[in-house]
Structures are given as C-alpha cells and as structure tokens.
Structure 1
C-alpha cells in the first residue's frame, strides 16, 4: 500500500517532469514485485501450515490486516490505468476492469466478514484494547470505490462504465459510514484510555485514510457521473453535474475533517517523542499518501495554486518518509527481528496446553 501510493503520487505531482514519470514506473514495478512476493509467501504459509490460518483469522488485530490485500491491489490497478492503458492500448482497459471487479468482491467480503468475526469469536475485550487497525478491512471498500472511478474513466463501453460508477458509489456507501462509526469509537477510546502504547502509536494516523480516500473517491466519482450520466441518459440531464458538485463539497468537508485527525496524530507523535521502529511504521505512508492525493485532486478541480503547492509538499514528504521506512524495513528484515505474528503466541499456548494434558 505504501509503495503503491508513492508511485501514484510521483505520477500525479502537479509540478511534474519526465524523470518523475519514469521514477513512478520504477516504483510501480517494485510494488508489483512486493505484492506478488507477499502473495506467494502468504499462500505457501497457509498451505504448509493450515492451522495458522484459523488462528490468524480469529485474532482481533492480525486478522484486520487482510484488508491491506485489496487496498494494495487497488494501487496496482490505478497505475495500470495511468501508465499501461496509454502505452499498451485497448486490452489493458478490460484487464484493469477485471482486476477491479475481483478487488471489489474481495473488498466487500473483507469489510463485512472481518468485523462480524470480531463480534462473534473470542472473549470480551475492553475498550482500551481497541486500535485503529479495525479500520483496515472497512477502508478497502472506499479504496475500491476510488479505483472504480479511475477504471470507469477509461472504459470504452458506456454501459460498463455506468455500472462501474454505480457499484463504486455503493462501495463508497458501504465503507465510509461504517468507517465513521469506528472512528467515533476510536475517539472515545483515546479520550477515556489515553494514547496507545509507543509500539503502536503510529496507528493514530490510520483514521486519516478513510477521510482522505473518501474525499478523493467522491471527486473522482463525481467526474465520472458528470461525463457518463448524460451519455447514458441516466436520471435527469443535470444529474451528472449535480453529482460532480456535491462530490467536491463532500470531499472538502472530509478533507477538513482529515485536518483534525492529522493534528491529533501529529500531536500524539510529538507527545510520545521517541518510539521504536517496527513494521507498524508503514502506517505513516498510506494515510498521509491518500491525504496528499486528495489535496492534489482538489487543486486540479478548483483549480488552485494553494492546493497544488500543498499537495506537492505533502507528496514529497510522503516519498521521503517512504524511503526512511523502506531502509528501516530492509535492515529489520536482514536482521530477522522485524517481523512478528501475534497469532503464533496463541499457537504456542495451545501446544503447551496440549503437552500438559498429555503429561497429566
């Protein structure tokens, strides 16, 4: 997700150049390699050790990260549309559409099933144990909605494009209201039980994701509605323009709300001062990255030099942050101390109990 959003930011920078375009392609290829490698490793892991899968799916924290799969794939789909469609032509349009359909189905399954499993399995959990990772499976629908708008913009068949937009609005409606509910609970948790431990303090940036991505999606879907509705005679003649205008209004409100969470998150980091590097530092990149994309898109729609400059500054900051976290991850991967699966602790407990039972 973090690498994918960096490739998109480099491609869409308001003040761009040819060298940034080629750099975005390099990061895009790197993202495909990382995504494919992670998929292969995960398939092998749960094929060779199937008992781990059930432990993972029932874990209240680790299971939430399944939502990163469709979101990571969505960044690849977006770059296929932005880079491959202009370069390789017609077949890539439908290839991106097929990938998006798969991504949308997985996003809905993830957003609905994982919160329900959280309700149905395990013991009662105190409010203080809640973290912002609850948002991850839900945000996948919002990301899929934004990606659907990008895909619909290049589909040559008007009816296919129309249905893609309608489904994307439904995905947006599934994800954003549910994410807002979780954010209210998370704000209550922060208020009553103070900031999370330093090891997971980066998670306070995660609420920025659904707000920024929701705003970006509203603008892109409004664009598509403005262009596609008149062509397909959907609703009234002025409906597309209305959707477009309302989309920008919603985006502006969500972007402003994102500023609140950006302040809370930045103040939390400043208050914590020093905190250890861990894999959770990747929680910096995607939320800040989608906030930057939303800012850049607002600058495009208005148009506005303020939003263009601010979007560029945020984008460059995210790229620098991505480099820092990538170097830290590479060092941690080489040392073997970075990766940790919380669910394996439950497996050890189960094995100890089984051994104790045999001994008795």
Structure 2
C-alpha cells in the first residue's frame, strides 16, 4: 500500500476560472491544524511531469515530524483540471487558487504555511510566498533555484544563446521541443522513451568528467536531442539508455506511463508555453516595483532552504548566486545532494532528511 493511501483526498473548484484542484491532506489534518495555531503547515508542490504522489517516498520521514501536510495536484496533473490555455498556468493565478483552497480548509489569515516545491513546483512555491507573504513562515525549494522577478520579457533564443556562452551548453534547449505544437502527441506515443529521457543514466566517456552522469545534459541541453530520442530518430535511433536505480523504479515507470497515457501532455506543456509567451510579465513587473513602504517585494524575509543536486544540468546549484548577490535571501541555507533532478524518486530518504533537519531546527513542534 502506498503511504499516501491513508491521506484524505479532496477536490475544490476555484474561482474565478472554475478550475478544479485535487489535493491530499495528511491523516487528522483538520484536527492537527486546529489543535495549535502555531504549528506550521507544509504545502508540498510537485513539478513537471509529476503529480502529488511524487512526494510519496518522502512521506514516511516527513509525516512523523508532526506538521500537517497539504499536497495538491497542480494544474495539468492528476485529478486537477488540465486546461490548454497557457494563461491559466500563470504563477499568480495558481498561487491565488492554492490560497483559496487553504481558506476552504479553515486556514485563512494564518501565517503558518511553508511552501516546499520541486521543479515547476519550486517556481510555484516561490511565487506563493511573493504573492502571499503574510501566509508564510518559511520557504523551501528543490532543484530550481530562486528565480528573481525581472521586468524584462523572456526570450528562449536569448536564454539559450547566453547560457551556451556562460555554461558551455544551451541550458533551455529542451524547451524548443516542449513548446512545439507536436510535442504532446509525440510524447504520448512514446512514453517509455520519455521516461528514459527523464530518468536515464549515461556516464561520460571523457576522462576529465570522471564517469559523471551527463544524461540530462545530453537530452535537455543539446539541440534536437530530446525530440530525436523520444521519436527514435537521428543520433538516438534504435539506441536505449540505461536507467537510474530508483527504489521501486519499475512501479514508478508503469504508473508514469499509465497516468500520462490517460491525461496527455497538452496541459503540462503549458507551463513552458506560459513562460515562453510571457503570460506572467506584468505580474513580475509588479513584484519589481517598490512596495507600499518602499520595501523590495522580491526579498524572501523568512527562513529559506534551497536543496540542489549535483547531477542537475538544468537547475544548476550555482544559480542561487544572483539572489544572494542582490541580498534577496538574507536567511538562506543551502544543501547539495549527490543526485539527479528527480531526486524524490532517486533518493527520497535523503531529500526528506535534508528538509526535516531544517524544519525541526527552525520550526520546532511539540508533539
């Protein structure tokens, strides 16, 4: 039995766009949350192309700590709505929807939330804090470093051109596939190869890289590589990569294939289209303006934990530097794990332990 099978599953239709959010509450969530108004509530946010159950491997470590857990399926995934309009995947809209769900659970006007997010869930967690700072007492993000709001439009071509000069590879090359009109159908037709794209293990043959796994760089940061691997064409025709040794890896793969066969990718790719089409530009510009008392609205004023991974070639651990240089994360702690991007599948215990150590030290709970 999956550990989350003991959780309460609920759904709520949120205004103003009438989108359904599916979410899971830890056992005795309401009683636990109401027993003490000081107890922090963990808001666990998954990324692409996952759903709420991405957190299942971390639950056995997190649940005994005594914090109520609230784990939604973000838009496009699981039991939540799957709109195909990129504007619905706007960070501010999703943050506001999550706030409405918390209100429905009796948690309005309470500064108790610690958003904890991975990948696109990290982006959503960051913006939940920025748009609802009065609800949050902490913030933890995995993989994706703090994305400092900017008033400048996003350009995929510019991003790849600049990162190719900075890092030696175009960091966002895979976006060219995910934002292409045929990406959802091609991916759905080749879900086993898509699983391999995300979870492969490909040690470098270059002596100077000392056997380091470079699969993410090969697939995500090499032009056309993801398209060619998924469609079994080009350089990767009739070739298969070995897989990372995940706990329960075969079951994870089968659930992944069944879920995306049913739900498709038309909704999930809208995360990429939303940013590529600059649907959030005006919201970001608002965050770049001084607050009512002249404060910097981009500044994280609560205890902040970043957990990075050595094997993540896209969400690089050095990308926390801009926020630190701008003094936007004054109470920042960083931990780096020997793992790849999908760390909650690869080493859920290590991820949960890193988060737990910080939580218990910074937000002690009397159980």
TM over 0.5: no
Larger Cα-atom Rg = 1
TM-score by length of 1: 0.25
Normalised by the length of structure 2, the TM-score is: 0.25
Q: Which has the higher strand share?
A: 2
